[in-house]
Amino acid sequence: MNAMSEGWIDVCAVEDVPPNGARVIDRGSGVCGIAVFRCGDESLFAIEDRCPHRGGPLSQGIVYGQRVACPLHNWSIDLASGQAVAPDTGCTRVIPLRVARGRLFLHAAALAAAGAAAALPSCPASAHAAASAAANEHA
């Protein structure tokens, strides 16, 4: 990782991330790396490089649309929210990202928080959970 600027850390050039692929930002031993994804539509996302199922390396998965299919058991993870796509549940931590002058920057405070927390984050309410709750009300 490189210079920090106003709370953002310069991690690499956009061109360093392969289209429909990912690049891992290594944060040292014992700390989960950050997978930066570049989708076919040129959208970019950064999430922790571990699947909410059993910790598979999402950076090695197949990118399709704005999702990645985990290489271990094929769960799909939404790259914008970090949430597993229904019927699977769970989520991985999303790191805010911005692009300036062809460089990628990750939010420094979010990175620090992710490094300090060993556990996966709790998921915000998802459409799947809301649908399940609605279904239960009518059961």
N-to-C CA span, the chain: 52
Q: What is the CA radius of gyration of the chain?
A: 16
Closer CB to ligand FES, residue 8 or residue 56? 56
Residue placing its CB nearer to ligand FES in the complex, 62 or 130: 62
Query: Minimal distance in Å, beta carbon 73 to ligand FES?
Result: 3
Q: Which amino acid is at 27?
A: R
- Which one, 1 or 123, has the nearer CB to ligand FES? 123
Q: Work out how close the CB of 90 gets to ligand FES at its nearest, in angstroms, rounded to a whole number.
A: 9
Residues in contact with ligand FES by the rule CB under 6 A: 51, 53-56, 70, 72-75
Element holding 97 (H helix, E strand) = strand 97-100
The residues facing 9 across adjacent strands are 4, 106
